[in-house]
Amino acid sequence: MTNATGGGKSDKPGNPGKPEKKSIFKRRNKEAKANKKPGRMKQMRDVFQMTRRNDPSVVWLMLLAFLGITAIGLVVGLLINNWITALIVAVPLGLLAAMFILSRRAERAAFAQLDGQPGAAGAALSTLRRGWITEEQPAAVDPRSQDAVFRAIGRPGVVLVSEGPPHRVKRLIDGERKRLRRILPNVSIHVIQAGDGEHQVPLSKVSKRIQKLKKELTKQEVQQVNKRITSLGNRLPIPKGVDPLKARPDRKAARGR
């Protein structure tokens, strides 16, 4: 006998849910592909294209380095009557030299793009080597002029890096230095003004200037200094994900409302 519903086969209750599960899995796979980080080769290609746009001579410098080292290896191989082995050694060395030139030129090109933009000094601090404690948000900021002071903590002490005209950013530097002196009376506080003006340090050289500072603290003391500064907190509360250069104090809270 056939079923009263009219079909010889009856659909199971769970069948309608299967297509929905498949669609969920497909959606997750699409999201995973969208969030997947680009591969190493794509990253290198993007870096090369960005550097070539800002510095067209990088192509010729890389080619000259590769061909020069390869030619030297070939000549040495002919002299020792073993040019195949010499090429096997020279070609990787030539590629390494070309990649070294690309990395140096790419760093310059990146700083050239950041020059004059808010937060450029903070980006310069992000290139410091291990052993330094930095923050993405500025330690002090003027929302009107967009002048800012960024902070780095390391074995030389505390380093304040400012961005903005020297005569205008001086007030922020003095205020931050005075605030730190209250809790760190025996720790050296260094000031570096980033920029292209007189008595300023270019962005591409800020990291090198900091690395040359004399070491005065131990690694344990650096952590203690960081804890003291963290306990002090910032004068302006800056929520995560909010542009610190557009932050404004809560006037209603200041009046006690």
SS3 185: coil
Whether 95 shows a pLDDT value over 90: the answer reads yes
Tokens representing residue 142 in the block: 């003027």
pLDDT in tens, 150-198: 999 999 999 999 888 888 888 999 999 999 998 888 999 999 988 777 7
Question: What is the pTM (predicted TM-score) of this model?
Answer: 0.59
232-247 pLDDT, tens digit per residue, is 765 444 444 444 444 4
One-letter amino acid for residue 232 of the chain: L
The residue that leads in pLDDT, 83 or 13, is: 83
Q: Where are the domains of the chain?
A: 40-114, 120-234
| Short-list 163, 170, 146, CA closest to 206 | 163
pLDDT 10s digits, 102-144? 888 887 777 777 666 777 888 788 878 888 998 888 888 888 8
Helix runs in the chain, H state only: 17-35, 40-54, 58-79, 83-114, 120-125, 166-183, 203-211, 219-232, 251-254
